[in-house]
Structure 1
Amino acid sequence: MAFVCAATWIAKPGEAEAVRDALEKLSPASREEPGNQYYQAYQDPAEPNTFRIFEVYDDEAAFKKHATYPHFEQWALGQAIPALETRQRDFYETLDF
């Protein structure tokens, strides 16, 4: 089974571009992490302050390691997260039938 994180980020008013810029840099670097199977960010065209990120990792340990990499520290912790009004994360495990 793989470990899944479905995140919803809502930018503060006037901060959507800063969040988008951070995700533009964070996404490709996250895809290169050991244990990452899939990492895709989305922006809601009807509500441009709303972003969703869908992440799949080999296991929970790989997901937790994700938060320790320099690219996460710079682009998520340093730029995007301070620009958020709301940050929600939901966690799942895949059903590998």
Structure 2
Amino acid sequence: MAFVVAALWRAKKGQEQTIQRVIEIMTPLSRQEPACVYYQAQLSTNDPQLFFLYEQYVNEAGYEAHMATPHFEQYVKG
């Protein structure tokens, strides 16, 4: 069964561009992962600090593999 992540990510005041850049880096790298079915991030139209991420993986193990990638470690956990 597919594993879906739907998350809100709120940037700290003044860090909006940093988060935007992390998303720009993470999106193509995440989409190349074998277990990634769909990966999309959107910026709120009402709140420049709020980002919505929707991710779908073939299964939970695929998501766990995503969280163990070097790019996740560097840019998300960083």
Determine which structure has greater relative contact order: mean sequence separation of CA pairs < 8 Å that are 6+ residues apart, divided by chain length: 1
Greater share of residues in strand: 1
**Residue type matched to 1:23 in 2?**
I
Residue matched to 2:66: 66
Percent same amino acid at aligned positions?
42
RMSD value, Cα: 0.7
TM-score calculated relative to the size of structure 2:
0.96
Structure 1: where are the runs of 5+ without partners? 79-97
Superposition misfits of 4+ residues, deviation over 6 angstroms: none
SS in 1 for 2:54: strand
* 1:45 corresponding residue in structure 2: 45
Q: Compare CA radii of gyration and give the structure with the larger one.
A: 1
> Matched residues in 1 for 2:77 and 2:41: separation?
16
Structure 1 residue 45, shift from structure 2 partner:
2.1
The residue number in structure 1 matching 2:16 is: 16
TM-score (norm 1): 0.78
How many pairs were matched up? 78
